[in-house]
C-alpha cells in the first residue's frame, strides 16, 4: 500500500505595522499604503491527494463550500483546466476569523501553494499571486509573506527587507467586525497620507529599529469609536503597562510590539490576570515562510518515492 502524498502546511497570520487609507477608488475599494508582516500565529492545513474532494474544518461554521480554501482549490483547478484534480483538505483554525489578521486569506494562499506542489502543476509564484488577487485583497501578499509594502487595494505587493524582529502580545477583543462595514463608514475626513508608512519603510530599508511612534492605522479611530469592546481592551492593555497598542487591519485585533521576551511575557501575564486571552507570538520572515513551503514539497517527494 502506498500512502497518498500528504502535507501539513502552516498558514501564517499577518499584522499591519502601518495602514493608511489614502482615498476611495471608483470601484468602491479604497487605496491603501501599508507595511504588512507575517507572524507566528498560524492555522494548519493538511492536504492529501484524493480521487474526490473533501474539506473539513474544526470550526464547524467554517466547514462550508464557500470557505476560501475550497474556493482557492477551485480557482487553481479552473486556471489549469484540470477538473479531474482532487484533494482532501483539513483546516485547523488557530487564527481568529474576521479579526484583521488575514487568517482566511492566508489559508487561501497556503492552499494555492500547497496544491500547486501536490498536483505537480509547476505554476510560478507570480501566477499564483495573480490567481490569489481574485480571492481577496490580502491573499497575494500572503503567497510570500515576510515584510512587504502593500498598495492599490492590497494586491500590489513589494517585498521589503525583513523588519526588525519583534515579540508581539496580540489580543482579539470579543467582537466580530466586518471589513466592508469599517471601510464603508469612512469619510474623506478620515483619509490619511502615507507619511508614517514611508518613514517605517525607510527605517526597514536602512536596517534601523522600527520607529514605534509611526506604527499607525487610519482605521483604528473609527473602530475605537464604534466598538466600545475594542476601546475597553485597548485601555486595559495600556493600564496594565503596554506602552503602545496598535490595531491590525480593519480590526478588532490589537497588538503591542516588544524587543525583549521579558517585557512581552510580563504584559501577557498581566493581561491574563485581568481576564484577557493574549497570544505571545513573534514576527516571521519571508525566508521562514519559504522554508515552510519548501518542506511541503520535500514531504511530497518523500511520499512519492
Range 267-274 contact pairs with CB under 8 angstroms and sequence separation of 24 or more: 267/169, 267/237, 267/240, 267/241, 267/242, 268/169, 270/240, 270/241, 271/169, 271/171, 271/236, 271/237, 271/240, 273/240, 274/236, 274/240
Size of site (CB under 6 A) for ligand C5P: 11
Whether residue 138 lies in the annotated active site? yes
Point out which span in 111-119, 176-184, 188-196, 227-235 binds ligand C5P (CB under 6 A). Answer: 176-184
- Which three cell numbers, joined as nine digits, stand for 210? 522600527
For 194, the 3-state DSSP assignment is coil
Q: CB of residue 33 vs ligand C5P: minimum separation in angstroms? A: 10
Options 90, 121, 183, 285; binder of ligand C5P; rule CB under 6 A: 183
Q: Is 217 in the site for ligand C5P (CB under 6 A)?
A: no
Whether residue 14 lies in the annotated active site? yes
- Which three cell numbers, joined as nine digits, stand for 300? 511530497
> Pairing mode, if any, of strands 279-284 and 156-159?
unpaired
Q: Is 278 in the site for ligand C5P (CB under 6 A)?
A: no
CA dihedral of 138, 90, 302, 145, whole degrees rounded to 10: 10
Q: Looking at 107, 138, 196, 300, which residue is catalytic? A: 138
Q: Is 179 in the site for ligand C5P (CB under 6 A)?
A: yes
CA 192 to centroid of chain Cα atoms: 23
In the complex with ligand C5P, the residue whose CB is nearer, 145 or 278, is 145
In the complex with ligand C5P, the residue whose CB is nearer, 149 or 270, is 149
Which residue, among 13, 282, 35, 31, has the nearest Cα to 160 in the 3D structure? 35
Q: Is 116 in the site for ligand C5P (CB under 6 A)?
A: no
Q: CB of residue 28 vs ligand C5P: minimum separation in angstroms? A: 6
246: left (phi > 0), else alpha (psi -120 to 50), else beta? Answer: beta
Point out which span in 25-33, 122-130, 187-195, 282-290 binds ligand C5P (CB under 6 A). Answer: 25-33
Q: CB of residue 74 vs ligand C5P: minimum separation in angstroms? A: 16
Q: Is 299 in the site for ligand C5P (CB under 6 A)?
A: no
In the complex with ligand C5P, the residue whose CB is nearer, 87 or 108, is 108
In the complex with ligand C5P, the residue whose CB is nearer, 222 or 257, is 222
Helix (H) or strand (E) holding 286, with range, is helix 286-304
> CB atoms < 10 A from the CB of 269, how many?
13
Letters for 122-161 (x = contact with ligand C5P by CB under 6 A, - = none) are: --------------xxx--------------xx-------
In the complex with ligand C5P, the residue whose CB is nearer, 218 or 292, is 218
Residue in the structure block whose three cell numbers are 462595514: 181
> CB atoms < 10 A from the CB of 56, how many?
13
List of residues contacting ligand C5P (CB under 6 A): 29-30, 32, 136-138, 153-154, 179-180, 183
Show which residues are catalytic: 14, 138
Amino acid at each position: 500500500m502506498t500512502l497518498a502524498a500528504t502535507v501539513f502546511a502552516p498558514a501564517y497570520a499577518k499584522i499591519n505595522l502601518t495602514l493608511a487609507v489614502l482615498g476611495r477608488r471608483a470601484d468602491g475599494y479604497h487605496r491603501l499604503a501599508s507595511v504588512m508582516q507575517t507572524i507566528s500565529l498560524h492555522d494548519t492545513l493538511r492536504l492529501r491527494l484524493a480521487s474526490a474532494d473533501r474539506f473539513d474544518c474544526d470550526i464547524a461554521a467554517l466547514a462550508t463550500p464557500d470557505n476560501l480554501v475550497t474556493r482557492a482549490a477551485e480557482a487553481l483547478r479552473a486556471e489549469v483546466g484540470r477538473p479531474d484534480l482532487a484533494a482532501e483538505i483539513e483546516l485547523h483554525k488557530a487564527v481568529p476569523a474576521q479579526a484583521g489578521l488575514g487568517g482566511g486569506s492566508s489559508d487561501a494562499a497556503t492552499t494555492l501553494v500547497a496544491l500547486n506542489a501536490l498536483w505537480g502543476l509547476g505554476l510560478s509564484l507570480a501566477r499564483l499571486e495573480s490567481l490569489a488577487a481574485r480571492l481577496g485583497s490580502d491573499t497575494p501578499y500572503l503567497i510570500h509573506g515576510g515584510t512587504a509594502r502593500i498598495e492599490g487595494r492590497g494586491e500590489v505587493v513589494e517585498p521589503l527587507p525583513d523588519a526588525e524582529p519583534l515579540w508581539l502580545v496580540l489580543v482579539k477583543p470579543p467582537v466580530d467586525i466586518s471589513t466592508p462595514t469599517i471601510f464603508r463608514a469612512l469619510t474623506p475626513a478620515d483619509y490619511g497620507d502615507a507619511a508614517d508608512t514611508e518613514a517605517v519603510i525607510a527605517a526597514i530599508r536602512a536596517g534601523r529599529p522600527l520607529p514605534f511612534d509611526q506604527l499607525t492605522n487610519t482605521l483604528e479611530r473609527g473602530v475605537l469609536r464604534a466598538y466600545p469592546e475594542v476601546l475597553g481592551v485597548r485601555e486595559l492593555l495600556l493600564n496594565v503597562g503596554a506602552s503602545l497598542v496598535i490595531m491590525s487591519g480593519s480590526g478588532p485585533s490589537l497588538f503591542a510590539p516588544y524587543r525583549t521576551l521579558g517585557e512581552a511575557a510580563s504584559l501577557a501575564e498581566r493581561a491574563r490576570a485581568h481576564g484577557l486571552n493574549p497570544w505571545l507570538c513573534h514576527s516571521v520572515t519571508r525566508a521562514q515562510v519559504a522554508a515552510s513551503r519548501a518542506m511541503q514539497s520535500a514531504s511530497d517527494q518523500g511520499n512519492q518515492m
